[in-house]
Chain A
């Protein structure tokens, strides 16, 4: 194999796309030809630099705002909102207490393990600003509502509680997923906003359930 035909094969050679026989001939040639060896080294050096390029480049800070301004709302597809049927009877059932109690326990745990910022907020009651403080605020409100709801399950009909239980399960799944995503990408503002929106959703659901219970 001469220099010209070897040079023609170098791209495929470095890409691992040559049949073994041809690759062997290229190897044999560059072992004895300094010029072709240098050509191969230059090519490999380039590809080493290319592989070190960053896979991600920061966009301008206002990129999302520009995109959001162009997003058309989907009329047919809305965010599913929790639906509570109006209470019908006072029939008692303890079937759905566990989830509420679990929810209260989970929310209390969340408060307990929150960061120093949370503790400071809880102690001083100052205006919450950080994500952690907001998270604690939601946790506290959720605990109160979940405890109220769990204390008087007889206030809601079994049907209402079944709907509430299903909706809580859906929201809790979404919260769990957002929390997991946030654990692996801490401080991601989009994920934080999404998680807070889910907390809000859960809170609203419990508020509505509590109001429905009081009205019945």
Chain B
């Protein structure tokens, strides 16, 4: 456990803010891609850091703090899905104007934005497996453990996501 983490564990908000500053970009990227929706990602990111503050004392340093926080964020995103249920899922993330807003023609980030939009437009199940596996680097077995689905289902969702993405990008 580093001194910054230890100070945050002792209740020092400035130390916790320093941890926030170093980690928030990665956590926000994860929440944004997993949810496919900016407003939801902002809410999820807030929840992750509030939860981290509440549970910080349980962090014992067995893994890096960034790993611990990342796993907590994945659980937060997956837990939100379980508790909100299908009815409350966003209509379609692909209709979110902020996610889908395209740059003016000729903008240098256009291919990446196309890909980000295509990921946001995936069906939720396929999107989450794709982000966990291909973007975040989790193995199918780990994903199966985290999400409670079978390894075969994880593979099938990944296959579907990759196919849909290729189709979307080649349109």
Q: Which residues of A contact B (CB under 8 A)?
A: 11-12, 42-43, 46-47, 49-50, 52-60, 63-64, 66-68, 70-74, 77-80, 173-174, 177-178, 181, 185, 188-191, 193-194, 197
A177 touches B4 (CB 8 A): yes
Considering only CB atoms and an 8 Å cut-off, how many residues of chain B contact the other chain? Answer: 46
Inter-subunit contact A174/B116 (CB<8 Å): no
Nearest residue, chain A, Cβ from B54: A72
How many Å lie between the Cα of A56 and that of B165 in the bound state? 21
B115 an interface residue at 8 Å Cβ cutoff?
Answer: yes
- Chain A CB within 10 Å, residue with most, of B18, B22, B28, B49: B18
Q: A-contacting residues of B (Cβ < 8 Å)? A: 2-4, 7, 9-22, 24-26, 28-29, 32, 42, 45-46, 49-50, 53-54, 57, 111-112, 115-116, 134-135, 155, 158-159, 162, 165-166, 169-170
Which of A52, A80, A194 is close to B18, meaning CB atoms less than 8 Å apart? Answer: A194
User: Which residues of B are found within 8 Å of A59, using beta-carbon distances?
Assistant: 24-25, 28, 42, 45
Chain A interface main SS type: helix
For the A-B complex with A185-B22, A193-B14 known, give 14 more contacts whose Cβ atoms are closer than 8 Å: A46-B165, A49-B112, A50-B134, A53-B135, A56-B29, A57-B32, A60-B42, A63-B45, A63-B46, A67-B20, A177-B4, A181-B4, A193-B18, A194-B17
Question: What's the dominant secondary structure at chain B's contact region?
Answer: helix
- Closest B residue to A59 using CB positions: B28
